[in-house]
Chains A and B, each alone.
Chain A
Amino acid sequence: MSLHYQPPFNIIITGIGGQGISRLTKSIWTLSQKSSFSVQGAIFKGGAQTLGSVYSTMRIFFSKTVDYEYYSSQILERELDLLIALEPYEALRFQRYFGPQTKIICSSQIAPIWIERHRPLLISDPIAVLRQLGRTLIVENFHQAAMEKYGDTRAAGEMMFARAREKGYFPWTI
């Protein structure tokens, strides 16, 4: 057990129910563990079967001596390293976690917030707001790309993970 703070690599994956967030989280988790890193984190699914907010947090510890299980499973504000957002509004929901080091990879396909159908949204263009925040940002329609390549939009998360990896957003070979 070390009495010195050992900073983890902080990841949030966010989107809405049915987009495969749980599967993607477990994939990154398993791959990290195969690299002998420890992982602390949680998957939050909310109450709805589909279309509600879903997110996961992962904190990957590189040090072998860290007592990671005693660390918080939450991430401090401004300390997010990587955000994989399968929906732009959901990306904005985690804005307070963005710091100068934060890299964001976001699918451009917007899922309307259903309760708001009868009234105008305060933010009509979430992608524009995301761009204004001035972080390292990749926005593409990964859902469309997944549909074209694999015939299933649920592969979008894996494609985003691959892009993040290719861009060197993970500080290790994963």
Chain B
Amino acid sequence: MRNIINGNEAVAWAAMEMGLNYFSHYPGSPVNKIAPAIYELNSKYKGSVVFNDAINEHVATLSALGASLSGARSMVVMKHVGMNIAADPLNYIGYTGIRGGMLLVVGTDPGAQCSTGEEDPHWYLPQINLPLFEPTTISQIYYQTKEAFLLSEKYATAVVVFLPTRLCFNHDSLLTDESKIGQAQREFKFIKNPASYINVGAQCVANSKKLFAKMETISQDVFFGKEFFNANSAIGVITRGATFGHSYESILRLELSEKVHLLNIDMTYPLNEAKLLPFFANKKEVVVIEDQGGFLENSLKSLFYGKIQTAMEGKIFFTPYGEISFSSIYNFFADKFDIAIRQMGENLQAPHEIEVPERLGTFCEGCPHRASFYIIEKVLRAEQGDDRWVIGGDIGCSSLPPQRADWLLCMNAGVGISQGITAMASSQLVISTGGDASFFHAGISGIASAVHNKVDLLHLVFDNEYIAMTGHQASLSSNPKLDHEKLLYALGVDKLFTVDAFDLSSYEKKLKQLVHSRGVRVLWVKGACSKMLPAQAIKRREAFSPTINSSKCQDCTLCYRELQCPAIVKKTTNLPHFSIDLDRCKRCRVCKQVCPNGAISANVNWMKLAQALLAKDV
């Protein structure tokens, strides 16, 4: 079947056709769509994949290893920063080896296009010592994912696949084969192998030795890469990942195909010296073009140190940060070969520098986080009438603008950094925040540590029932078996309240109480993600039609500038100066509670409201 698919779906198709048995992940862009694609293919074509929506990457990786050691073909998916969380087990997978083919698929994000950071995870590879594939096109993702499974089983090693954002979001038409899904039959059994699986002391060192030998074998046996253009040229270009397409097209377009020899390396760790050496044979100069920190350039320089006469550079021409654009590569080639660029607009003036502010998005209409940050700031302002207060921030939807937290770094930076600040800067009022998914990811350890160390900590958990930013995977808090209050009290939390995010007066009251208490205090704020409640939202829509009353509105702008709900819009004519866009409004009624002049009325349709209340949908 020919489908238009993106990079994430190409991984899913390939894995399913290869008979994937076990899928484990922690969601994160740009690879957040692999899981839904595998769910869909598994359900549509009657696959038998066992899923593990793990609470963090550490658990996700170990469980995939467990499945592999039982003979299953397994895959674990995470984003670049997730590799930090998985780093501990990743350092042992090379020692244990695997049984069923095991793939670790990691989304990288040069330019931080869908992440808080653009960390370059390549540098983990020499440390964890696993083969690395870096496909460059959608069809290569598909075929190399399959190759990676075969390589994994042939050499009993997990294989890593890196997918940069650009490639994940690329689309192409691909011929897939659904008839292969669910066909492979495997027997699952854990077979004891203490020599490989017990990694302590001398045995660990012995396994480390074996791993180096295995990687040496792979580096001699395996090579994935492709050469283009003139092999006799004295100038070589080596690429990996997304920079290949930019380089290929630049060379064609500038008519340099006779002057340049291009090599794209798909398996960038370990490098095959024997296969690569001939490329350098007649080269005076080689330029390595790659995103981020020059991993390939460093690896090549290290591999061929003292063995070739070719001058090799990369990062002296291209930045080690951000995503390298097509234009910058095109201009590099034009400069290098002294070609006047024949752009269609060459007779035009240089483009104006128009500074359009970055549009980072914001909380959606009806988002519980908007209510939360409004209340937090209101309470802090009342309690500490200056800006000495501190709000600890966490990543995820609660980090979206209007950003009110004082820092945004990694998961659970709120609950962690706040502990140091509250210990050392005791005159400042500190409130740490984080989502429910973050809480279960590792925030729970932060709370336990605060209890153990008797830290004065006030932490808010925003429970919206989903991992919303990455596509609404269910959070552990949506599990009816979980009792967060019992859990937190069992950890030794001193004081705990659960509040409704949309009931502002109760929220404010409870938060004030906790501000005036001591010890480890948690405010669990419940309010489901507004994107996930269509049925309730429709009923609320029928029951309420909020409006701003012109005779009561004093233009205080609290609803517009402080609450910043996108459904409240500025009018160009007539009083009041603001109105509610009922097409956008989710009827959360937070603006009505915020208005100090009673100018926002809900306009209740009592019949519809009664029906909704009876159905418990409001």
Contact = CB atoms under 8 A, between A and B. Distances in A.
Interface string A69-113: 111111111110000000001101101101111000000000011
Nearest to B170: A42
Given A42-B166, A99-B343, A49 B361 contact: yes
A99 B343 CA distance: 9
B170 A5 contact: no
Contacts of A71: 245, 248-249
B171 A77 contact: no
B344 A99 contact: yes
Interface string A109-121: 0001111111001
Contacts of A46: 113-114, 360-361
B354 A42 contact: no
B66 interface: no
Contacts, number: 180
Nearest to A89: B356
Interface string A140-152: 0000000000000
B564 interface: yes
A84 B511 CA distance: 47
A92 B357 contact: no
B354 A95 contact: yes
Contacts of B327: 74, 76-77
A47 B364 contact: no
A20 interface: no
A3 B252 contact: yes
For B400, B468, B531, the residue with the greatest tally of chain A CB atoms inside 10 Å of its CB is B400
Interface size class of B (residues with CB under 8 A): 35 or more
Interface stretch (B201-209, B284-292, B345-353, B590-598): B345-353
A53 B358 CA distance: 8
A75 B356 contact: no
A115 B360 contact: yes
Nearest to A88: B356
Contacts of A72: 245-246, 248-250, 326
Contacts of A129: 354
B330 interface: yes
A99 to B, nearest CB: 4
A101 B345 CA distance: 8
B59 to A, nearest CB: 24
A48 B364 CA distance: 9
For A46, A98, A101, the residue with the greatest tally of chain B CB atoms inside 10 Å of its CB is A46
A142 B450 CA distance: 55
A137 interface: no
A29 B114 contact: no
B348 to A, nearest CB: 6
Given A29-B4, A74-B326, 10 more contacts: A26-B171, A46-B113, A50-B361, A50-B364, A70-B248, A70-B249, A76-B330, A114-B359, A123-B355, A153-B583
Interface of B: 4, 6, 29, 113-115, 137-139, 165-166, 169-173, 228-229, 242, 244-246, 248-250, 252-253, 255, 257, 325-327, 330, 343-345, 347-348, 351-352, 354-362, 364-365, 397, 400-403, 468-469, 531, 560-561, 564, 566, 569-570, 583
